[in-house]
């Protein structure tokens, strides 16, 4: 081996070793860098898991809210439609009463209402308030005071209020002082029927129980 060649070999070895060391340094840095990136990604995913899950759930919930509101609105539409139809039946019933005034059963009905009311008041001076068309009818009724007296256990006197009431039928009955009253106006009774027979009415109309609230 020549002298020059030996020196060259030493020089080459120095450079090769340096390059190997340089490669090791860079390789290690790259491995560490990749690890750092992976760790950062893993940490970010861990840190954001709860947040992302809540946001995903909120996204799903927004769909559920839309559907819930639609179902509620749909339910309300059906209920409103039923309520409207039931109201319509009461409008028809009210009109029916306007036609009933001349019928015998209406007269009997009116008489019974007065007797019931007079009995509830407990006899005494009973004043019957009625619509103009019924005032004469009530005036002509016989046996009212006697029946009320018997039922109430106290003598009774029945008179018709002079001022006619603005109503479609029925009576508003009170004692002389006006502090005890019984409201048997048709509109009031229709309201009571609407409350008490709501399910029956719905069943008659729709073949099912009422769900109008």
Count helices and strands (H / E) in the chain: 6, 4
Minimum distance from CB of 159 to other proteins (Å)? 20
Give min distance, CB of 145 to other proteins, in A: 18
Count other C-beta atoms under 10 Å from residue 169's C-beta: 22
Token pair recorded at residue 167:
């109503």
- As measured in angstroms, the least distance from the Cβ of 131 to other proteins is 15
Which C-beta is closer to other proteins: that of 25 or that of 176?
Answer: 25
List, in sequence order, the alpha helices (H) in 101-161: 104-121, 132-139, 144-152
Pick 4 or 162: Cβ nearer other proteins: 4
Nearer to other proteins, 54 or 176 (CB): 54
Minimum distance from residue 122 beta carbon to other proteins (Å)? 19
- Closer by beta carbon to other proteins, 117 or else 145: 117
Question: What region, left, alpha or beta, does residue 89 occupy, with left being phi > 0 and alpha being psi -120 to 50 degrees?
Answer: alpha
């Amino acid at each position: 081996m020549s002298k020059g060649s030996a020196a060259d070999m030493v020089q080459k070895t120095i450079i090769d070793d340096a390059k190997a060391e340089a490669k090791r340094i860079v390789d290690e840095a790259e491995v560490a860098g990749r690890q750092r990136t992976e760790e950062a990604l893993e940490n970010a995913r861990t840190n954001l898991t709860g947040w992302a899950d809540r946001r995903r759930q909120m996204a799903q919930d927004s769909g559920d809210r839309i559907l819930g509101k639609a179902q509620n609105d749909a339910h309300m539409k059906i209920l409103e439609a039923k309520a409207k139809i039931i109201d319509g039946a009461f409008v028809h019933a009210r009109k029916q009463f306007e036609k009933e005034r001349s019928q015998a059963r209406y007269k009997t009905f009116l008489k019974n209402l007065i007797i019931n009311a007079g009995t509830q008041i407990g006899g005494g001076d009973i004043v019957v308030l009625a619509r103009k068309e019924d005032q004469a009818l009530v005036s002509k009724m016989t046996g009212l005071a006697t029946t009320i007296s018997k039922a109430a256990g106290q003598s009774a006197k029945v008179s018709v209020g002079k001022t006619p009431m603005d109503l479609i039928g029925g009576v508003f009955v009170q004692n002389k002082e006006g502090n005890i009253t019984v409201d048997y106006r048709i509109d009031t009774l229709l309201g009571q029927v609407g409350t008490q027979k709501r399910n029956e009415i719905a069943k008659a109309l729709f073949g099912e129980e009422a769900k109008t609230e």
